[in-house]
Amino acid sequence: MKGSEESYRNMYTCMKKIREFETTAMNRFADGKIPGFVHLYIGEEAVATGVCENLRNDDFITSTHRGHGHIIAKGGDVKFMMAELFGKATGYCKGKGGSMHIADASKGILGANGIVGAGHNIAVGAGLSIKLRKTDQVCICFFGDASTNQGTFHEGLNMASIWKLPVVFVCENNYYGISMSQARHQAIKDIADRAVSYGIPGVAVDGNDVTATYEASREAIARARKGLGPTLIECKTYRHRGHFEGDPGTYKPTEEQKAWLEKDPIPRFREFLKKNGIMTEDDLAKIDNSVAEAIKDAVRFADESPEPDVSSVVIDVYSDITEEVRVR
């Protein structure tokens, strides 16, 4: 047991917060409250949580279409996130971006992203900026298994390795790209092996064990801060839901789903904390309650917020919009 008690507490709270946010989004989507698409992170909480516990506010992350967990773990505000999902004027993108465009530059959150594989080179850009500014910040690039077949993955790792950029590439291998299993979309088992081509360290860890994601990323982040270059970390995990809400996920074998549910990262960490005398059932229940309250507050805030005014429809949508067009 290497982590501090404070880190363990933070990580339990963070995983619960993500789960509560996602379960609420799932229910409100089913009620018809949330327009557009939502891709939930339920089951994968230990990845974003363990990694981001090692970050500072001035570090950066890039995210994906399945971004809620990354954003919460990096300190995103759940009230503004929920309002954005509800399409309200108080949301992160003033209700015009939805789940896949949430960003918060004040916290180094460089954006969720609907384009699979787009984050790799945004992270390389952030890494280059850190290097040129000579700071000891890092950028974490989160991405899925299927995105490692995109050219951007290979281009990104190549540039980051040759320039020794402070980027940690964190692959969330949940074994599926939509309905296509990993075994059908690539001929390798461990995505971490792809690091060899770029002469950088590659490690595969149990992505449902938050202590493992925390430890592996701690080492990679320390390395990056010292100017020793990038690392590829593969976190083996599983999404409990379909690819997006509305996908029944019938392509996932029942036995496979059952086996992964037994490895759910949250009950597992709960047991670990109790068994090692780090937290009691009472401590954990207090966190559960306060997290549930925070998410209820976020829903209340989103529910009570106004819809965006129609006059704002083109504002912040085009980068070269003129003042004249704005006021019309």
Ligand X SMILES: Cc1ncc(C[n+]2csc(CCOP(=O)(O)OP(=O)(O)O)c2C)c(N)n1
Q: Which residues bind ligand X (CB under 6 A)?
A: 65-66, 114-117, 144-147, 172, 174, 176-178, 243
- CB closer to Mg ion out of 84 and 234: 234
- CB closer to ligand X out of 64 and 161: 64
CB of 2 to Mg ion, least distance (A): 29
Segment near Mg ion (CB under 5 A); pick from 91-99, 104-112, 118-126, 174-182: 174-182
- CB closer to Mg ion out of 75 and 114: 114
CB of 244 to Mg ion, least distance (A): 12
CA atoms of 316 and 309, how far apart (whole Å): 13
Do 237 and 174 form a contact (C-beta atoms < 8 A)? Answer: yes
CB of 174 to Mg ion, least distance (A): 4
Q: Where are the alpha helices (DSSP H) in 65-209?
A: 68-73, 78-85, 119-133, 151-162, 182-185
Ranked by CB distance to ligand X, the top (closest) residue is: 144
What is the per-residue binding string for Mg ion in 92-131, x denoting contact by CB under 5 A?
----------------------------------------
Q: Which of 87, 15, 83 is closest to 53 using CA atoms? A: 15
Do 66 and 53 form a contact (C-beta atoms < 8 A)? Answer: no
Residue 231 binds Mg ion, judged by CB under 5 A: no
Residue 237 binds Mg ion, judged by CB under 5 A: no
- List the single partner that 237 binds among ligand X, Mg ion, none, CB under 5 to 8 Å by kind: none
- CB closer to ligand X out of 73 and 279: 73
Residues 6+ apart with CB under 8 A from 114: 65, 100, 101
Residue 69 binds Mg ion, judged by CB under 5 A: no
CB of 188 to ligand X, least distance (A): 14
Residues 6+ apart with CB under 8 A from 249: 241, 242, 243
CA atoms of 225 and 138, how far apart (whole Å): 6
Q: Which of 252, 283, 256 is closest to 270 using CA atoms? A: 283
Distance of CA 108 to the CA centre of its chain: 13
Give the type of residue at 28. Answer: R
Q: Which residues bind Mg ion (CB under 5 A)?
A: 144-145, 174, 176
